[in-house]
Chain A
Amino acid sequence: MTNATLSVEMDSSAASNIFQDGAFIEELRVQMLKFARLQVRDIQLAEDAVQEAMLSAYQHIDRFARQSAFKTWVFSILKNKVIDLLRKEKRHVVASQLEDGPNLSGEALIEHLFEENGHWQKDERPKKWDQPDHGVENEHFWRIFDACLEALPAKYGRLFMMREFLEMETPEICHNEDVSVTSLNVTLYRARLRLRECLEDNWFGKEKS
């Protein structure tokens, strides 16, 4: 009995440290907001979802002694909230709008980039990205990156962010999203293709500073 109480106390003190680390919480909040806002177009709804996920995580804080475990968990709550919001949104938004977005994507983009024999179209051959790190410290670069992410069709954006931002492994994404491995791989490919194109058009292909 005493031992149990003691261990709970130890856990909650470790856990409350998580919330006392202001920099960690702030960074986490920013990441969560980016994740939510890229998928839920309504800023207010996205912010609400982040608040709710944070609150719900705080209520179960004693279960987490480590920041990394906490982070995974709070993101999984957020992800479910986002998915709920997207489901509700679908009632108002035609599904094709979600899939296609404003730019060429999917099969249309692939047709645009490659010739029938499977070679790159002459004008669409990837060009060298000078100093790939160039701009990483540059605020303007991140604005472009943001805009390119936002321009991804919603489904691409969601799966891409799960893979690259949340660093989830593919079996986990397939399980959570109920997609096949093949279809996930194709979607990730299309997302990267679209994002690459957007960055090259709007940043790397522009005149160098």
Chain B
Amino acid sequence: MMNCKQAAQMLSEKLDRPLSAKEKMALTLHTTMCPPCRLFGKQMGSLRDLSKAYTKPKDQHEEKN
């Protein structure tokens, strides 16, 4: 059974590598039952979005193709 410490690390690694089917299943099982880890996962995504917003205050110079 995955614990919070392992889940937290996996919620970060999810952003950097594809998780295996087994890992995905264990992680889903854990986060379904664990609200703090669910929040943590969301916040990992927020950090990525914030970093994007930080470096790219405007989108109009982004190339479209």
Residues of A near any B CB (own CB < 8 A): 21, 23-24, 27, 31, 34, 66-68, 110, 114, 117-120, 125-129, 132, 136, 142, 145, 163-165, 170, 181, 184-186, 188-189, 192-193, 195-196, 199
Inter-chain contacts of B50 with A (CB < 8 A): 136, 145
| B46 close to A (CB within 8 Å) | yes
Please name the residue on chain B nearest to A170 by beta carbon: B16
Rounded to whole angstroms, the CA-CA distance of A126 and B55 in the bound complex is 26
Q: A125-B36, A127-B39, A165-B55 are in contact. Are A192 and B47 (CB under 8 A)?
A: yes
Give the most central of A21, A31, A125: most B CB within 10 Å: A125
Q: Can you offer 17 A-B residue contacts whose CB atoms are under 8 A?
A: A23-B61, A24-B61, A34-B54, A67-B63, A125-B36, A142-B54, A145-B50, A145-B54, A164-B52, A165-B55, A185-B12, A185-B13, A185-B16, A188-B16, A193-B8, A195-B47, A196-B47
| B22 close to A (CB within 8 Å) | no
Nearest CB in chain A: distance from B51 CB, A:
4
Inter-chain contacts of A199 with B (CB < 8 A): 47
Overall SS of chain B's interface: helix
Say yes or no: A118 contacts B55, CB within 8 Å: no
| B43 close to A (CB within 8 Å) | yes
Rounded to whole angstroms, the CA-CA distance of A70 and B62 in the bound complex is 12
Nearest CB in chain B: distance from A39 CB, A:
14
Partner of B43, one of A66, A68, A129: A129
Inter-chain contacts of A145 with B (CB < 8 A): 50, 54
